[in-house]
Amino acid sequence: MTGAESDPRLPRRIGRAAVLIGLLTLLGGCTALEDRMARQDAALSDLRAGIESLRTDLRGLRQEVSALSEALAARARDAAIAEAAGEEAQKAVAGRVTATERRLEELGDGVSGLEGSVAGLAEQVARLEAGSASTASLPRSRPTRSRTPSSAISAEELFDRGMESFRAGELGQAVLDFEEFAEKYPGHPLAPSAQFWIGEAYFRSRDFQQAAEKYQRSVDLAPTGERTPDALLRLGLALRSLRREDRARDVWARLLRDFPDSEAAARARVVLRQPGGSARPSEPR
């Protein structure tokens, strides 16, 4: 091993991690619940296999690093011997030591990159599994009325379709409608409301973690919007249901500070006077 040349396998190993991460972007465009879950399952399978492959590569790289470390120690001994043998021998040994050190540094970067990729993939697999489970928890109701293809209706009509599904108790379909709206019209004035109603669907299905994330997204999209007071109120309730009382009270404090005269603030004052979890303010309109 010369040590000066880079390992041709290393870019492929790191590239493989990038390709695996790229698989995750394929999951966002599905509008049908069953299709999305099927794609998630397939992607999860590929990601798990990829993680195992990357871990095998990591073991190989670590073994190579160990071998190079031993070689470096041996060359350091050679350097000590060469010191007594003359200047030319010293230069030759020093060159080999430098090349080995460079190679070790290169492999160290590769190991760090692969470790980060494995950790990132494992985390995203966990998120996908959690997201798949939470989506599956929503009722898989099917609308009985005929539905015009979404490509043929306006943004407002698509939003109204989501509200119609929600009011009919078709929570799973409402989530799909509002998520399609959010994907197609991310900058629309109704986008914060779409996130709020997705949060409501999850809240009514008692998936408080997903509900909290959607309420927070609604607030982030419009910090002073018309729907924001209700989103803050409901976010606090979802957090309280998750036993995150301190965070819930922080959210309600923000509601009272920023929207003191709102109906949501009045409800929050009632909730704050009650023991954790005992108050149930009325549903948003």
pLDDT in tens, 173-224: 999 999 999 999 999 999 999 999 999 999 999 999 999 999 999 999 999 9
Report the share of the chain in percent with pLDDT over 90: 41
How far apart (Å, rounded) are the C-alpha atoms in residues 81 and 71?
Answer: 15
> How many residues can be counted in the chain?
285
Residue 228's pLDDT is what?
A: 96
CA distance 18 to 20: 5
For residue 124, which of 28, 11, 239 has the smallest C-alpha distance? 28
What pTM was computed for the model? 0.51
SS3 168: coil
**Gyration radius (Cα) of the chain, Å:** 28
CA pair distance 171, 197, nearest whole angstrom? 10
Q: Answer with the one of 105, 137, 169 that is the final residue of a domain.
A: 137
pLDDT for 249-270, tens place per residue? Answer: 999 999 999 999 999 999 999 9
Residues 114 and 164 in one domain: no
For 17-35, letters b (16+ CB in 10 Å) and e give: beebeebbeebeebeebee
pLDDT tens across 168-184, in order? Answer: 999 999 999 999 999 99
40: in domain: yes
CA distance 239 to 245: 7
Residue 48: inside a domain:
yes
- Residue with the two structure tokens 């409402």: 174
Looking at 137, 160, 187, which one is the last position of a domain?
137
Question: 249 φ, ψ to 5°?
Answer: -65, -35
CA-angle at 18, arms to 12 and 24, nearest 5°: 145
Residue 27 lies in a domain: yes
Q: What's the pLDDT at 4?
A: 43
Q: Residue 91 is part of which domain span?
A: 9-137
Considering only residues 77 and 191, tell me which one the structure prediction assigns the higher pLDDT: 191
Alpha-helical runs (H) found in the chain: 9-23, 33-83, 87-137, 155-167, 171-184, 191-204, 208-221, 228-241, 245-258, 263-272
pLDDT in tens, 112-139: 555 555 555 555 555 555 555 555 556 5
Compute the average pLDDT of residues 229-249.
96
Q: Number of folded domains in the chain?
A: 2
Out of 137, 159, 184, a domain closes at 137
Model confidence at 8: pLDDT above 70: no
